[in-house]
Structure 1
Amino acid sequence: MATDGEKKKAASTTKRTLHYYWQVTRKHFGLFSLLMVSTFLFVALLSYGNPYVMSLVVDKVSAGPVPSDQVFSVFGPFIFALIAINVCGQAASKLQDYAMYKLQIAASYDLATMSFDALCNQSMSFHSNRFGGTLVSQTAKFMSAYQLLLETITFPFLPVACSIIFTCAILAPRVPVYVAILMALLALYACVSYYMYKRILHLNEQAAGAQNHLSGELSDSVANILAVKTYGREDYERGLFDAANKDVVARDSKRMQASLTRGIVTACIAVTIMAAVSVFIAGGNAWYGITPGTLVMMFTYTYTVTNQFNFINNGLQRFNRAFGDASGMTAALDEPRLVADAPDAFDLEAREGAIDFAGIGFDYVDGGVKTRVFDGFDLHIPAGQRVGLVGASGAGKTTLTKLLLRLSDIQEGGIEIDGQNIADATQRSLRRQIAYVPQESLLFHRSVAENIAYGRPDATMEEIREAARRANALEFIERLPQGFDTVTGERGVKLSGGQRQRIAIARAILADCPILVLDEATSALDSESEKMVQDALEELMRGRTAVVVAHRLSTVAGLDRIVVLEGGRVVEDGPHAELIEAGGVYADLWNRQTGAYLD
């Protein structure tokens, strides 16, 4: 049984979902209005206009026989009215289809853009704690849920409202008692349906959450299929997937049982309504002098409105499913952006490339637990200096580069580039001043040329080739089946680790930014390739500020300066030769890696 907290959360999520959907609908209000008006006309003409004219025909026929030569003169106006009603009704139906399709297409574009922008502008902490496959699934469901809601409003719910209006307007002047009883029963039907709808809303959210988790498990296993196979863990992954799949079945079963219960209750009310209309139709003429035409209208209109109310049960079930499916992305859209541009953020331009970390305080939060990484951290890197960051794992090396890129925001102190506080600059302008090559190369499922030119899409083919040559990548690229047009596969899976890394380095070379950040950028290369790439990086770093994170100390030994981090603090700082002579932490690390001994 759901707790009050779960029900309140589901209701709050529903309101937020409607908020986002209304934002999109409001942009296309003309199409939305056209859809509503055409639906109103469609129901009015075909569901109510036809029976009304037919009731007049029945009354005319019941009044007495019409001579055969007077059929068209007597019934001609009715025939013309029926033809006109059906022509206009069908036109309204096609107009309804047009407005529906156009609105769904336009809204899907806007919702996809909204979701993409929200996910792309979220912090790395946000993405680190979520399955990529789950986010993709949530985005698809968020878009399809809007279409489901729109269709549900247009077909079951708007016709129900129209049916009530037309039934009251046409029958109330003729049989007010009957209309009063009918409306009371329909109100009871609507209240019971809504009450039961609210009771099971959270079940749909839970079912959608289970389905998203299932998608995430599948995505995680497929993305790491090599690890699954090489460790023979197919059965283990099958177990995780099966557990998630069984959770989906269990939650869908609960949703089904609740929906069936609601359907049985509302069906009983529908039977009661039809029993009431049967009594009135049977005795209407005898008790109240109701004409045959009006009796036909009573039955037809009551059957129509009751049938429409039957669809409400299905419509509410679709509402439940839609809001449940949309809940995951709604929560993601509501998630505060941990790294956001200031309202008056300026475009940063690194003229020289000097970097200053002043009084940095930073806590890493994982699972609600804070871990202090930096406390009052200071570091000055002059323009054009090549600095290596070394230290044991967890010392804060990579974290420092991520703070420089504003992939996470500091809690205390400030980071400046050429005296400009990066917190006051736009993230986009900041990152366009820094060429970043991480330990794991980041390649798209696109051509080699597109991957190299990613940081500078206007580059010519000659510039792309030159960047590849300087990164020692040209030779192997030209041996690929389609050369620079070869598609690398998802995350560059078609290439070796060293090849992927050299393409990533070529991308940084082509970007030609004033600041260069290398995070274990040569770790995947063999010794020969590393020497060639190091030569290319030496050329690239000349005249630029470079921050190089490395565990392999030979990578940083030739740099201008080496900063040794330990527990988020600078414990040693200086050129390679001085640190070796000092015999401290760096010298100890060097000796372990090279097997050398200090004199």
Structure 2
Amino acid sequence: MSDKQNANTCDGQQREQSGQHKQNQQGGQSGQSSHSQQREQGGKQARPSVTRRTLHYYWVATKNHLGLFVALVLSTLGFGGFQTYGNPFVMGLIVDRVSSSPVPPDQVFQVFGPYIAALVLINVCGQTCSKLQDYTLWKLEIAVNYDLATMAFDALSNQSMSFHTNRFGGTLVSQTSKFMSAYNQLVEAMVHPFLPVTGSIIYVCVLLGPRVPVYVCVLLVLLAVYASVSYIMYKRILHLNEKAATAQNNLSGELSDAVTNILSVKTYGREDYERALFDAANKEVVARDSKRMRSSLARGIITACLAVVIMSVVTVFISGGNAWFGITAGTLVMMFTYTYTITIQFNFINSGLQRFNRAFGDASGMTVVLDEPRLVADVDDATPLVVREGSIDFERIGFSYDDGGVQTSVFHDFDLHIPAGQRVGLVGMSGAGKTTLTKLLLRLVDIQEGRILVDGQDVARVTQQSLRRNIAYVPQESLLFHRSIAENIAYGRPDATIDQIREAARQANALEFIEKLPQGFDTITGERGIKLSGGQRQRIVIARAMLADCPILVLDEATSALDSESEALVQDALARLMSGRTAIVVAHRLSTVANLDRIVVLGDGGVVEDGTHDQLVEAGGTYAHLWGRQSGAFFGE
């Protein structure tokens, strides 16, 4: 991977860093950012590395099913050996026997019986190998595809938020699908033509070498020239396949982006605009594929000419073989049959290399993703977080992010102590670091200096899953899966009973509207919950948090996008949710935090003010100025 970029994150521009210090995120396509200007992966100098890495990942998955792989190789070689070379060899012996002297009719079976038995046995073994080849190929592809899909899913699900922020979701899905199908293409290209070609060379040397060594040497030289020319041309056009795959990924990204935001497209009447973007990406696919096609055809023409040369040489040998070298008729039959067969197989090398090209191009995107370092990773000796009280300490925190080469400091020597069970509001101007602080707590971002403690345990030393399973996070945008309402509520606690799900929905003021739906808790919410209103989605997310029953709660602008009626219901549900928990509430609207236990005003990389609502208003500082521009109250005592 040749491109490097920082991946630090803050607020709306989530750029992350790894461990306790800055790291550069490496990856050929990590700069994807806009509709039609996604960066192509790597330069020409990086392509061999990507190809080798692709083979590495494929071999890792194949090793788990090594028996199937070995059986596939042996059955493929056996099928070609028996059917393609065994039959002509026995027929050559029969021709020699017929040519040597006439056979009386009553001695046909006596003379040719062994040959007939050999042919029957050869064909039985050949057909057995054929069916074993079909079975092992199919079984291997199914088994390895399962492992590759798991590998890709684990890599994507464990990557940082900035990784996903900088990529189209549709492109990642497309790359995963292509990564799996590329393996099938490679294996099938190995089965035909590369393994048969390898077997043919071995069989020709073994069967014809003792009979016509000069011919075999000449044939091997010609075949070596053929293979060398094919490989050189293959290397020259490898980058065309990667570019074609990149264009296909961009096209998938454009389609995904338009479909995901279809409401905006329609309400703004921008169908033509999106069509133009899609058409531009589609034309790029056509251009890349056309260039690849022309190069492949040119390679095919050159290799076809070499095949004609090979057949011309064998014709000369067969014509004068008996007169010049005393070659028997049966051997001449074998020479022609074997050479014709191997020439046809070598002719398929062109299409086989084309499939290799396409496969490596298709797989390159996901290979780069798999090679991406995890910017936020568990340490080797990470232990599960155990929360007994829920106190939180930010100690001498230092955090900054790099955006376009410009370093921006968010926190410097930042300290904040939140006692267990305290409800704390975070306020301040945009860019003060309110949301960033919650991301640091959840380890969606890693700090560069200092440490964060939960009940005295450093969050950098505990497992990420145990940390996040102890913190219920309610974002501004309700995050729902395209699943049933019951499944969405139970997401934080999959073993919950339907009665527990109903109770959580009741406490979140969601039970009434859910029961009015035709399918109740079995109602499918649609992608990202599109079938429900904003207030309904938010109450389902709150019900999820209630059912998870975490000791720590983080609310990030949880009511900012709701109408008055929905806001009242959500506020009431949130008040119940915060009861008895350590709660951090991020808010722009100060009415949402006015009656919390404590309000912390952030700014200039640290804490500007800290106190209750009444204390801060009386102090007449930043909070009082902001409060003077707003009115109302949110949480009651």
Report the TM-score, using the length of structure 1 for normalisation: 0.97
Which residue in the other structure is 1:520 paired with? 557
Which secondary structure does the structure 2 equivalent of 1:383 belong to? coil
Partner of 2:247: 210
Equivalent residue letter for 1:132: G
Q: Residue 472 of structure 1 contacts residue 529 of structure 1 at CA under 8 Å; is this kept in 2?
A: no
Structure 1 residue 251 and structure 2 residue 288: aligned? yes
Please name the residue that 2:510 is paired with: 473
Quote the Cα distance in structure 2 between the aligned partners of 1:506 and 1:522: 15
For residue 351 of structure 2, what is the aligned residue in structure 1? 314
Query: Shift in Å at residue 35 of structure 1?
Result: 0.5
Specify the alignment match of 2:449 in structure 1: 412
Which residue is 2:162 aligned to? 125
Q: Does residue 363 of the first structure (1) align with residue 400 of the second (2)?
A: yes
1:453-492 residue CA offsets vs partner (Å, 9 max, x unmatched): 0000111111111111111111100111100000101110
Flag the 1:589–1:169 CA change in 2: closer, same or farther, 3 A.
same
In 2, the alpha carbon distance for the partners of 1:595 and 1:430 equals: 35
Partner of 2:188: 151
Deviation of 1:368 (Å): 5.0
Q: Tell me what 1:44 maps to.
A: 81
Contact 2:488 2:540 in 1 (8 A): yes
CA deviation profile, 1:324-373 (whole Å, cap 9, x unmatched): 00000000000010000001000011111111111111122345544322
**Counterparts in 2 of 1:370 and 1:265: CA distance versus 1, 3 Å:** farther
Identify the residue that residue 379 of structure 1 maps to in structure 2.
416
Whether 1:397 aligns to 2:434 is: yes
Aligned mates of 2:271, 2:346 — CA distance in 1: 50
**Per-residue deviation, residues 218-249 of structure 1 (Å, max 9, x unmatched):** 10010001111111111111111111111111
Find the aligned partners of 2:546 and 2:186 in 1 and give their Cα distance.
Answer: 49
Q: Give the distance between the partners of 2:365 and 2:404, measured in 1 at CA.
A: 19
Are residues 1:346 and 2:383 paired? Answer: yes
Partner of 2:106: 69
Partner of 2:464: 427
- Tell me the distance in 1 between the aligned counterparts of 2:373 and 2:583: 33
Amino acid aligned to 1:577: D
1:486 paired residue among 513, 516, 523:
523
The whole-number CA distance in structure 2 between the counterparts of 1:430 and 1:6 is 39
Is 2:200 the partner of 1:163? yes
Percent identity between matched residues is 75
2:51 aligned with 1:7, yes or no?
A: no
Partners in 2 of 1:172 and 1:560 — Cα distance? 92
- The alpha-carbon deviation at position 443 of structure 1 amounts to 0.3
Q: Give aligned pairs, total.
A: 593
Report the equivalent of 2:149.
Answer: 112
Task: Report if the CA contact (8 A) 1:470-1:533 is conserved.
Answer: no
Is 1:18 the counterpart of 2:55? The answer is yes
Distance between the aligned counterparts of 1:524 and 1:30, measured in 2? Answer: 57
Q: As a proportion of its length, which structure holds more helix?
A: 1
CA distance in structure 1 between the aligned counterparts of 2:414 and 2:90, rounded to whole angstroms: 85
Verify the 8 A CA contact 2:421 2:581 in the aligned structure 1: yes
- 1:260 equivalent in structure 2: 297
Q: CA deviation at 1:392?
A: 1.9
Task: Give 1:63 shift.
Answer: 1.6
Map 1:185-264 onto structure 2 (within 5 A).
Answer: 185-264=222-301
1:338 counterpart SS class:
coil
In the alignment, structure 1 residue 102 sits paired with structure 2 residue 129: no
2:311 pairs with one of 274, 278, 287: 274
* Range with bigger deviation, 430-439 or 259-268: 259-268
Displacement, 1:567? 3.9
Mapped partners of 1:200, 1:380: distance in 2: 60
Report the Cα offset of residue 184 of structure 1.
0.3
Q: CA deviation at 1:201?
A: 0.9
Task: Give how far 1:595 is off.
Answer: 9.3
Counterpart contact for 2:382–2:463, Cα < 8 Å: yes
Q: Residues 370, 126 of structure 1: CA spacing in aligned structure 2 closer, same or farther, 3 A cutoff?
A: farther
Aligned counterparts of 2:324 and 2:503: Cα–Cα separation in 1: 97
Q: Which amino acid aligns with 1:583?
A: G
Kindly state the Cα deviation for residue 386 of structure 1 after the two structures are TM-superposed: 0.2
Counterpart AA for 1:590 = W
Q: Does 1:330 align with 2:357?
A: no
The amino acid of 2:440's aligned partner reads L
Alignment partner of 2:540 out of 486, 491, 503: 503
Whole-Å separation in 2 of the counterparts to 1:136 and 1:157: 30
Secondary structure, aligned partner of 2:630: helix
Q: Residue 157 of structure 1 contacts residue 312 of structure 1 at CA under 8 Å; is this kept in 2?
A: yes
1:287 lines up with 2:321 in the alignment? no
Q: Which moved more, 1:333-342 or 1:566-575?
A: 566-575
> What code does the residue aligned with 1:189 have?
Y
- Which whole-Å CA distance do the structure 2 matches of 1:328 and 1:529 have between them? 43
Q: Which residue of structure 1 aligns with residue 20 of structure 2? A: none
How far is 1:565 from its partner?
A: 1.4
User: Higher mean Cα deviation, 586-595 or 260-269?
Assistant: 586-595
Q: Which ranges in structure 2 are unaligned for 5 or more consecutive residues? A: 1-41
The residue that corresponds to 1:54 in the other structure is 91
Q: Distance in 2 between matches of 1:530 and 1:466?
A: 20
Aligned twin of 2:586: 549
Q: Paired residue for 1:581?
A: 618
- 1:527 deviates by 2.5
Residues in 2 aligned to 1:7 and 1:561: alpha-carbon distance in whole angstroms: 57
2:486 equivalent among 422, 425, 449? 449
Residues 46-78 of structure 1, C-alpha deviations (whole Å, 9 max, x = no match): 010000000011111112322222111111111
Instruction: Answer whether contact 1:7 1:201 (CA < 8 A) is retained.
Output: no
Match of 1:558 in 2: 595
Distance 1:223 1:368, change over 3 A: farther
- The separation in 2 between residues aligned to 1:381 and 1:434, in whole angstroms, is 14
Q: Shift in Å at residue 254 of structure 1? A: 1.4
Task: Supply the distance in 2 between the matched residues of 1:248 and 1:429 (Cα, whole angstroms).
Answer: 44
What do residues 411-470 of structure 1 show as CA deviations (whole Å, max 9, x unaligned)? 111111011000000000000100001000110010000000000011111111111111
Note if contact 1:394-1:567 (Cα within 8 Å) is conserved in structure 2: no
In structure 1, what is the Cα distance between the partners aligned to 2:121 and 2:172?
Answer: 51
Structure 1: stretches of 5+ with no match in the other structure: none
State the Cα deviation string for residues 284-317 of structure 1 (Å, max 9, x = none).
1111111110000000000111111111111111
Shift >4 Å, 4+ stretches: none
CA contact under 8 A between 2:311 and 2:340: conserved in structure 1?
yes
CA distance in 2, matches of 1:367, 1:168: 62
Displacement of 1:526? 3.0
Q: Distance in 2 between matches of 1:369 and 1:41?
A: 63
Greater alpha carbon shift after TM alignment, 487-496 vs 57-66: 57-66
Query: Which secondary structure does the structure 2 equivalent of 1:593 belong to?
Result: coil
User: What residue number does 1:436 align with?
Assistant: 473
Structure 2 counterpart of 1:115, one-letter code: A
Is contact 2:539-2:573 (8 Å) kept?
Answer: no
Kept in 2: contact 1:396–1:567 (CA 8 A): no
The one of 90, 104, 108 equivalent to 2:127 is 90
Alpha-carbon contact 2:591-2:632 (below 8 Å) kept? no
Kindly indicate whether the alpha-carbon contact (under 8 Å) linking 1:501 and 1:524 is maintained by their aligned counterparts in 2: no
Does 273-282 or 385-394 show the bigger shift? Answer: 385-394
- Structure 1 distance, partners of 2:255, 2:492, is 32
